[in-house]
Amino acid sequence: MSATTLDSPAKTAAPRWSSDAVAALLALPFPELMFRAQSVHRAHFNPAEVQISTLLSIKTGGCPEDCGYCPQASSYETGTKASKLLALDTVLAEARAAKEKGAQRFCMGAAWRSPKDHDLENVCTMIEGVKAMGLETCVTLGMLSAPQSDRLKAAGLDYYNHNLDTSPEYYGKVITTRTYQDRLDTLENVRNAGINVCCGGIVGMGEDAADRAGLIATLASLPTPPESVPINALVAVEGTPLAGSEPIDAIAFVRVIAAARITMPTSFIRLSAGREAMSDEAQALCFLAGANSIFHGEKLLTTKNATVNHDEALFEKLGLQPLAG
């Protein structure tokens, strides 16, 4: 298998993973895959610690993009109403509440193709206010230019989220209003500005195992792999083109988590959207496979998430604890 060994250095040149090499990982016997993933995880992290983030939609709906999974697209009838950018005081109140519930990072999402400069200034004020509380900050605002990335860095932004969603080959079946290269360009602008990258994808959109391998290989072979890698299970929302998608098999999902952990040893692998529908057993396998980050809170932008009370009970059952801030 053309890949790094399990004891590769953490912060040297990024390992290069081909789609075929990742596909071979995904096809391993499950016990072997889990052993490799857990070995890599323990080499770089405390396996009993999980990083906690909270995600708030600061500007909902009305997006001109046609992402087939997204209830915020203006062209789909999903019942999601477009709203204006939230007021600063509202956002800061939500951030305080998130910190009180144990979040270390506060993420803010806006349904834009790309932000207008005056909106960006408002978001920068939010970033400064959230950072003043001692929380890490993350935003997802769509595509960014280099000057916009620099402005966010100046405001103190810690992470920028911009997902690749799927493999380059499958991408056009999900989105047509922006290209894969558009997404890569934004990631390059963010990285050049000195901001940490949060970038992952969605599985369960009708793609096959080769596409899942292609997504993980692309992420792992970026010039610098993302510091945070959210792996989402599609939440099929009525009114979107992907509403009729079959849920991904739980074991297939765990395999993707394990492949992400093995190929990106020092990244936080976030068990993201879709947790609300997962059993405790499936989530336990994800943590065993190397997931070490989750979103806390009852809602992820516009879709349901596992409740904080349920997460606390699950953590107690599994002997997990939040990563210290």
DSSP state of 220: H
The catalytic position among 107, 124, 199, 286 is 107
The DSSP bridge partners found for residue 228 are: 198, 268
Quick check: is 198 catalytic? yes
Separation CA 38–CA 34 (nearest Å): 6
Any residues with CB less than 8 A from the CB of 154 and at least 6 apart, and which? Answer: 124
Q: Is 286 a catalytic residue?
A: no
What's the token pair of residue 63? 């997006």
In the set 105, 212, 270, 275, the catalytic residue is 270
Q: Which of 63, 124, 199, 286 is catalytic?
A: 63
Strand partners, 57: 109
Report the candidate in 175, 168, 172, 167 with the shortest Cα–Cα distance to residue 142.
Answer: 175
Closest CA to 205 of 135, 252, 262: 252
139 phi, psi to nearest 5 deg = -135, 155
195: left (phi over 0), alpha (psi -120 to 50) or beta: beta
Among residues 264, 300, 204, 325, which one has the least CA distance to residue 311? 300
From 36, 105, 124, 138, active-site residue: 138
Task: Judge whether 63 counts as a catalytic residue.
Answer: yes
Task: Catalytic residue, from 36, 124, 183, 198: name it.
Answer: 198
| C-alpha closest to that of 80 among 68, 63, 66 | 63
Does residue 199 have an active-site annotation?
no
Catalytic annotation present for 124 = no
Q: Are 293 and 261 in contact (CB under 8 A)?
A: no
The DSSP output letter for 139 is: E
The angle subtended at Cα 202 by Cα 44 and Cα 179, nearest 5°, is: 110
Q: Give me the active site residues, please.
A: 63, 67, 70, 107, 138, 198, 270
